[in-house]
Structure 1
Amino acid sequence: MRKGYVSSGFGQLHYVESGAAAGQPGGEPVLLLHQTPRSWTEYVDVLPLVGAEHRAIAMDTLGFGASAKPEGPHSIERFADAAEDLVDALGLDRFHLVGHHTGGVIAVELAARLQDRVASLLLSATPFVDEEKRRTAGERKQVDHVDPRPDGTHLLELWNRRRGFYAEGEEAALNRFMIDALTVLDRVEEGHVAVRRYEMDRRLPDITARTLAVCAPGDHYSLPALERFAAALGCETRVLPGGHVPLPEQLPGEFAKVVLAWTASA
């Protein structure tokens, strides 16, 4: 895997890629967008599998990981602005797009903007943000916010907030979550807030790419709205055979297999 940076209107954006390098023979590029408050490491085991057939690229969303962290409120539109800067800087004239959770919402906005430049779209556990979700956004509990304490007990609180998403033996993935979340602890909740404010339903009609929506059976955040989301978008759906919120880390082989099959059929 190769790490790199590109310049953008917000500062430097960090990405990691696997597979054919720019200018070399290989399959069409695949851009993978992570959930928040994560980083490219959500795809650490997926990248080489997809990279076996494509130029697989996982970026750090603006404000997260090693990408620039500008001041001002986050929004899905601003996340997509940065992603668009990255695809232009990398010369991705046409590419496949994959997004998980918040990354899926960013992928919706990016696909609505770029249309025919997106060869295919795979949305994993992507929340369906309609008027009802926006109206009740203020009533929803915070997902990852903790108040720092001198004795460090907030670290255990943050660990336990996500512990139920991971099976026994998956502590390495949970450690990666902790690293990513602690990097942005002062703004850890803003990605979730940006999702709840996004006018997704007004952007779905602008998407032209062939789309697949997938979800894990244990993901109680996104699974209940999967069919309504698919109906609004007019796309196919698939429930994978296992996993929870951190699906790409829990089932990287199955996840990559779905990505490769979908990109091959586009």
Structure 2
Amino acid sequence: MQYQGVLRKMQTEIGNPIQYYLLFDGDFLNLNQVINKNLKIRFIGHQCLNCGEDRPIYRQGFCKNCFFDIPSAGDWIMRPELSTAHLDQEDRDLEYEKKVQLQPHIVYLANSSTIKVGVTRKTQVPTRWIDQGAHEAIEIVEVPNRYLAGITEVALKDHIGDKTNWRKMLTNDVVDEDLVEQRNKLRQYIPKEATDYFIENNKETHLEFPVLQYPTKVKSLNLDKTPVYQGILKGIKGQYLIFEDNTVFNIRSNEGYVIGLEIS
């Protein structure tokens, strides 16, 4: 089987295990079905996910010009507390910002390497947790806009981490935690503006990833340095492909790269 196209983050479907899909123009591949098969990845070029031009990818699948211009790459994406649509104030495109920011958002705890706090749109639960490689997660608050979620995350970060150790996550060096207990401990630190949105009676969500073999020492595949790679796929976790020789390939960080994919 052969595929060619621009990389976008893998689409997922909740299940036991989670199902992963690579989408190409007019075609798709269920990656679960090719675990234990040989994959050959060949770098072809770039295609900015916004303008479509063959330009070097700067961040998030966009070329440098687009990254500093389009509303979907504004600073409030990574720092929700900077959201201003609720004040009717524009950053780059107020119509777009209202559409994204003025909808229900979740502040959550996720355990992928250690417990971390994060923010996502309600519509992205549990997708966001899957993308982070979390094996368990729980909602803390559900607020009506991104700004309230952002200031809540900022307040909680003083008491719990907000980063994932991706190497630890990929080696599966993780410990189950009582997220209900941790959520309840953090309740006292939620900002006054968001206290009424605390979720009291929910349970942890547990996620199972399709992995036959975890790497013992992670080696990250960089297509700019290694334009052709071949290996046996052993699993998928987060947005990473895991290969038999301990190589891992982060699909998300390679969005906008055009590849050829051969499966044998």
Which structure shows the higher helix fraction?
A: 1
Give the TM-score, by structure 1 length. Answer: 0.22
Give the TM-score, by structure 2 length. Answer: 0.22
Greater length-normalized contact order (CA 8 Å, ≥ 6 residues apart) = 2
> Who wins on radius of gyration, i.e. which is larger?
2
